[in-house]
Amino acid sequence: MSVQLVLILILLAIFLIATVLPVHMGALGFVAAFIAAYFIFGTDGDPTYDDAVFGFFPGSLFVVLVGVTYLFAIAKNNGTVDWLVHAAVKASGGRLSAIPWAMFAVTGALTAIGGVVPAVVAIIAPVGMSFARRYSINPVLMGLFIINGATAGGFSPLSIFGVITNTVVEENDLEGSPLFLWGASIVINVLLSIAVFFLFGGRKLLGGSRVDVSDHRDDDFVAATVSGDATEDTGEDIPGGSTAARTAVGSTSTGGAAISGGRVTEAAHGQPGHHHPTAGERADQRSLQTTALAEERHDAPVTTIDRDRALTLGGLVLLVVGALAFDLDIGLMAITVGVLLSIVAPRGAKGAVGQIAWPTVLLICGIVTFVGLMQDQDVPGWLGDNVASLGVPLIAALLICYIGGVVSAFASTTGILGALIPLAVPFLQGEEAVGAIGLITALALSSSIVDSSPFSTSGALIVANATEAERDRTFRTLMIWGFSMVAIIPLVTWLVLVVPGWL
């Protein structure tokens, strides 16, 4: 058995073990690199094998991952993320039909400027699912809009998915188009979201119902009113023909809440009208909060711009301009902006280092290190020779898209992108090669859109933030939708982007 085949089998074993057992894929990648370099090839004190482990450590990706998640943690701490969510909802004009699109836009914006997709979903999911419960929006509709938005922004040149994909393309001297990759991701996710909107009850939100979200502090309820049939009636009429809706933060039942001026306000503990929910009500309405929106109380309302938030927004603009206009390193720029914010606004930087996406850093660094060893042993060339002997590069391209979709539905998309794109290089070279831009885009989309599966991180976060009464139905629906994407998206992207040969 050749060394190349052994390494491919080890890579498959990494994916399998990480899928069925609670073992981190990145740690497995480092272990596999260590075993392969020291015990399969044999070191005998030769420093070449040390280089096979440490020489392929992705230092630039490490800096990008640490830098952007560090800056993103500061933005979360000082309320900038909260402000962006409120601004998106306000920009929607309070129309119920526009709220899912507002969640799509804000998650897309956050991932486009460097937020890690699962981290952004973890932050926005509690907010979006709370809106869904409050205004009787299908939780599956809201959850898929959040995931699709995060994926749409995830392939920008500043984002983690985009950086991984574009770095591999550049390192292998392949033809690439970062803007086409990002644009294709936006287009397909917008189209999917339109389908989701009409498949999962969006039609009933089109009746012109509106939500009036008032300014609030972190520990206050959001006072809101809704007119029309898209919300659950509290049983109290309000002058003007509207009915009081559920409060946007806090309990989803008004119980003994007072209604005044079209607003729902909860009576304080010990005051007349204060409602203590029964055990059944608590069980129905409780959801598993996977993340907090902020680490500490903000003095200023989260719906306003204060000095720290203005500086953070300015820093994000500086990051975008520096990276895109002046081609400065994204990771180093992000760390620089983060450090400057820590100096001038230290309160928001408290605990930010601990919130860096260290599991994602370990995942990417471990997998890419092992893939580097595979490239050193000419696994892509070996694969290319075998594919060339079969004479079916188009079928091989479809197969690798399906591998990306199936594995990513159960495991990490970031890990899949780092491993499969280098292995696709043989299909992109030679006389019968398929188009590089088309295949890379198809593989990227096939591996990312299936994140809606409840077995993937993003899908699991949506299920976790559904109430217990909704959770089983949400899980089943996301499973059906996710595996439909596994079956459909690789074939569609292959037919559109690869087979015609126009890219």
DSSP string, 346-394: HHHHTTTGGGS-HHHHHHHHHHHHHHHHHHHTTHHHHHHHHHHHHT-HH
Domain end marker among 355, 389, 419: 355
* Residues 170, 177 contacting (CB under 8 angstroms): no
Evaluate whether residue 439 is within a structural domain. Answer: yes
**Average pLDDT over all residues of the chain:** 75
pLDDT, position 7: 86
- Specify whether 174 is located in the same domain as 52: no
Classify residue 218 by burial, with Cβ atoms within 10 Å: 0-12, 13-18, 19+: middle
DSSP string, 50-104: HHHHHTT--HHHHHHHHHHHHHHHHHHHTTHHHHHHHHHHHHTTTBGGGHHHHHH
260 has pLDDT over 50 = no
| Mean pLDDT of all residues in 300-322 | 83
Residue bearing tokens 């699109």: 101
Evaluate whether residue 503 is within a structural domain. Answer: no
> Using one digit for the tens of pLDDT, what is the confidence trace for 137-146?
899 999 999 9
289 has pLDDT over 60 = no
pLDDT, position 390: 63
Give the H or E element holding residue 458. Answer: helix 457-464
Residue 211, beta-bridge partner list: 226
Strand segments, DSSP code E, in 451-492 are: none
Give the H or E element holding residue 260. Answer: strand 258-260
pLDDT, position 391: 64
- Specify whether 152 is located in the same domain as 256: yes
The token pair at 137 is 């929006």
The token pair at 271 is 């005051």
d(CA 412, CA 408): 6
- Specify whether 46 is located in the same domain as 81: no
What percentage of residues in the chain have a pLDDT greater than 90?
Answer: 17
Evaluate whether residue 331 is within a structural domain. Answer: yes
Evaluate whether residue 116 is within a structural domain. Answer: yes
Single out the residue of 60, 72, 25, 76 nearest to residue 415, CA to CA. 25
- Specify whether 271 is located in the same domain as 362: no
pLDDT, position 232: 33
176 vs 442, higher pLDDT: 442
pLDDT, position 27: 93
185 has pLDDT over 90 = yes
What percentage of residues in the chain have a pLDDT greater than 70?
Answer: 74
pLDDT band (50, 70, 90) for residue 62:
confident
pLDDT, position 342: 93
- Specify whether 33 is located in the same domain as 129: no
The mean-pLDDT minimum among 162-171, 384-393, 450-459 falls in 384-393
395 vs 184, higher pLDDT: 184
pLDDT band (50, 70, 90) for residue 91:
confident
* Residues 119, 158 contacting (CB under 8 angstroms): no
- Specify whether 327 is located in the same domain as 410: no
194 has pLDDT over 90 = yes
Evaluate whether residue 205 is within a structural domain. Answer: yes
* Segments forming the whole domain that contains residue 463: 3-57+358-498
193 vs 129, higher pLDDT: 193
* Residues 368, 422 contacting (CB under 8 angstroms): no
| Mean pLDDT of all residues in 223-233 | 34
pLDDT, position 370: 87
DSSP state of 450: G
- Specify whether 115 is located in the same domain as 104: yes
| Mean pLDDT of all residues in 53-69 | 81
d(CA 39, CA 292): 45
Evaluate whether residue 398 is within a structural domain. Answer: yes
d(CA 406, CA 87): 37
pLDDT, position 487: 92
pLDDT band (50, 70, 90) for residue 258:
very low
* Residues 120, 111 contacting (CB under 8 angstroms): yes
Residues 6 or more apart whose Cβ sits within 8 Å of residue 418: 164, 168, 364, 367, 368, 371
The mean-pLDDT minimum among 59-63, 233-237, 354-358, 392-396 falls in 233-237
Contacts 24+ apart (CB under 8 A), 452-455: 452/143, 452/144, 452/147, 452/148, 452/478, 452/481, 452/482, 452/485, 453/409, 453/410, 453/478, 453/479, 453/482, 453/483, 453/485, 453/486, 454/478, 454/479, 454/482, 455/409, 455/410, 455/479, 455/482
pLDDT band (50, 70, 90) for residue 242:
very low
* Residues 83, 57 contacting (CB under 8 angstroms): no
pLDDT, position 380: 67
- Specify whether 339 is located in the same domain as 205: yes
> Using one digit for the tens of pLDDT, what is the confidence trace for 394-449?
888 888 888 888 878 776 677 778 777 777 776 676 555 678 888 889 999 998 99
Evaluate whether residue 405 is within a structural domain. Answer: yes
Domain count, the chain: 2
115 vs 228, higher pLDDT: 115
240 has pLDDT over 60 = no
Evaluate whether residue 109 is within a structural domain. Answer: yes
- Specify whether 227 is located in the same domain as 249: yes
- Specify whether 268 is located in the same domain as 334: yes
Residue 73, beta-bridge partner list: none
If you average pLDDT over each of 12-16, 58-62, 245-249, 285-289, which comes out highest?
12-16
If you average pLDDT over each of 47-51, 270-274, 334-338, 472-476, which comes out highest?
334-338
Amino acid at 366: G
DSSP string, 186-249: HHHHHHHHHHHHHHTTGGGGGG--BB-PPP--TTSPPP-EE-SSSS---S-B-TTS-EEPPPSS
Single out the residue of 128, 458, 81 nearest to residue 294, CA to CA. 81
- Specify whether 8 is located in the same domain as 119: no
d(CA 225, CA 229): 12
> Using one digit for the tens of pLDDT, what is the confidence trace for 362-388?
887 888 788 788 877 777 667 666 765
pLDDT, position 388: 58
pLDDT, position 246: 33
The CA-atom distances, in angstroms, between 241 and each of 135, 226, 227, 262, 351 are: 17, 10, 8, 10, 48
Q: What's the half-sphere exposure (Cβ side, CA atoms, 13 Å) at 312?
A: 29
The mean-pLDDT minimum among 39-43, 279-283, 348-352, 475-479 falls in 279-283
Single out the residue of 303, 306, 287 nearest to residue 218, CA to CA. 303
* Residues 221, 215 contacting (CB under 8 angstroms): no
192 has pLDDT over 70 = yes
d(CA 42, CA 153): 44
Domain end marker among 305, 338, 355: 355
- Specify whether 398 is located in the same domain as 345: no
pLDDT band (50, 70, 90) for residue 208:
low
Single out the residue of 323, 347, 293, 296 nearest to residue 68, CA to CA. 323
Domain end marker among 322, 355, 388: 355
